Amino acid sequence: MLAVVALVGSLLMALFWAPVAGADPQQPAAHSSATKKKPRPKPIYWGAWIGDQITGVNPPFDMGGVTILQTLVGKGLSLIQFSSPFYDCHRSPCAPYEFPNEPMENIRGYGAIPFFSWGSESSPAHPEEFRLAALAAGKEDPYITQFAQEAKEWGHPFFLRFNWEMNGSWFPWSEGVNGNTAASYLAAWRHVHDLFTAVGATNATWVWCPFADAHSAYTDMKSLYPGNAYVDWTCLDGYNWGRNGVKARPWRTFDEIFSASYRYLTTKVAKRKPVMLAELASGTKGGHKALWIKEMLSSLPRNYPKVRGFIWLDAFDRGIDWPIETSPKATAAFAKGIAKGVYQPNRYAELNVSPIPPQP
Q: What's the per-residue H, E or C state across the chain?
A: CHHHHHHHHHHHHHHHCCCCCCCCCCCCCCCHHHHHCCCCCCCEEEEEEECCCCCCCCCCCCCHHHHHHHHHHCCCCCEEEEEEEEEECCCCCCEECCCCHHHHHHHHHHCCEEEEEEEEEEECCCHHHHCHHHHHCCCCHHHHHHHHHHHHHHCCCEEEEECCCCCCCCCCCCCCCCCCCHHHHHHHHHHHHHHHHHHCCCCEEEEECCECCCCCCCCCHHHHCCCHHHCCEEEEEEEECCECCCCECCCCCHHHHHHHHHHHHHHHHCCCCCEEEEEEEECCCCCCHHHHHHHHHHHHHHHCCCEEEEEEEECEECCEECCHHHCHHHHHHHHHHHCCCCEECCCCCCCCCCCCCCCC
CA distance 59 to 77: 12
Is 226 a domain residue? yes
As a whole number of angstroms, the distance between CA 106 and CA 219 comes to 37
Contacts of 66 (CB under 8 A, 6+ apart): 48, 50, 59, 60, 77, 80, 110, 112
Low pLDDT (below 50) residues in the chain: 1-34
Is residue 34 in a domain?
A: no
The answer for residues whose C-beta is within 8 angstroms of residue 56's C-beta and 6 or more apart is 62
- Count of domains in the chain? 1
d(CA 115, CA 83): 8
Burial profile 163-176: b = 16 or more Cβ within 10 angstroms, e = fewer? bbbbbbeebbbbbe
Alpha-carbon distance of 152 to 231, in angstroms, equals 18
Look at the chain and count its residues: 360
CA of residue 251 relative to chain centroid, distance:
23
Instruction: Give the distance, in angstroms, between the CA of residue 89 and the centroid of all CA atoms in the same chain.
Output: 28
Predicted pLDDT of residue 12: 31
Asked if residue 276 is part of any domain, the answer here is yes
- Per-residue pLDDT at 249: 80
* pTM beyond 0.85: yes
- Does residue 310 form part of some domain? yes
For residue 244, the model assigns a pLDDT of: 75
Asked if residue 22 belongs to a domain, the reply is no
CB-based contact 120:163 (threshold 8 Å): yes
Provide the CATH number for the domain around residue 139: 3.20.20.80
Q: How far apart are CA 242 and CA 54, in angstroms?
A: 23
**pLDDT of the residue at 35:** 53
Distance CA 352, CA 325 (A): 33
For residue 141, list its beta bridge partners: none
* Structural domain range at position 317: 45-344
Closest by CA position to 297, among listed 281, 285, 284: 281
> Nearest to residue 314, comparing CAs of 114, 45, 72?
72
Task: Give CA–CA dist 161/145, Å, rounded.
Answer: 17
At residue 33, the pLDDT reads 44
350 lies in some domain: no
In a domain, 13, yes or no: no
Q: How far apart are CA 312 and CA 73, in angstroms?
A: 13
Tell me what pLDDT residue 39 has. Answer: 80
Domain membership flag for residue 14: no
Contact 207, 276 (CB under 8 A): yes
Q: What is the pLDDT of residue 245?
A: 65
